[in-house]
Amino acid sequence: MPYPDRFYPVVDSLAWVARLVAQGVGTLQLRVKELDDSQALQLVTDALALVKDTPTRLVINDYWRAAIVAGAQHLHLGQEDLADADLTEIRNAGLTLGLSTHDDAELETALAARPDYIALGPIFPTTLKSMRFAPQGIAKISEWKKRVGTIPLVAIGGIKLEQAAEIFAAGADSIAVVSDVTQNPDPDARVRAWLDHVAAAA
């Protein structure tokens, strides 16, 4: 099974983790900001319990120390988090590592860390958080895929299911999805549609 899966939802609560695990999502990321160390450890521990004995791979965003202590297997870091992280400790713990990138300088930084995947974004405008980077557009996916080579490239930022075929055709190996699931009027149906789409294209 490729990692991360071609459909890669990013959610912000244990309730969402449980909901997506129940639907058979292969890879999902838990991204919750502004937690202290004890809160982070509790969250990661509880989330790992939800995916135990399921096929779902849980990626922990940011809290690398909690991920190591709780026995997580997968980690994602933004550039700010990467600057504060101990990559040797992360690797020694056996964690896979995904990294966010938004421009050429960040890509160079990410490649130097030898990650298991690289995320590029935002592809389209996103309302979820204020971005200091302009939308990259689909053409940038093809350019960056040539540069990262065999490292999986994850496209993120404002992507909807209707754009998935074009994103994959441009060279993305995976699409990280946030609002198209979490803000959808029928999230469960949307998840099923995504899963059907990537299964049909496989």
pLDDT at 129: 57
Q: How far apart, in Å, do the first and last CA atoms of the chain sit?
A: 11
Helix (H, G, I), strand (E, B) or coil at 10: strand
Pairwise CA distance, residues 110 & 202, whole Å:
28
Give, to the nearest 10 degrees, the angle between helix 104-112 and helix 138-148.
30
pTM, to two decimals: 0.96
pLDDT in tens, the chain (202 residues): 689 999 999 999 999 999 999 999 999 999 999 999 999 999 999 999 999 999 999 999 999 999 999 999 999 999 999 999 999 999 999 999 999 999 999 999 999 999 999 999 999 987 655 667 788 899 999 999 999 999 999 999 999 999 999 999 999 999 999 999 999 999 999 999 999 999 998 7
For the chain, which domains are there? 7-201 (3.20.20.70)
Q: Which residues contact 179 (CB under 8 A, 6 or more apart)?
A: 126, 127, 128, 158
pLDDT at 201: 84
Tokens of 52: 């135990």
pLDDT at 89: 98
Residue 13 DSSP one-character state: S
pLDDT at 2: 85
pLDDT at 9: 98
In the beta sheet, which residues pair with residue 153? 118
pLDDT at 130: 61
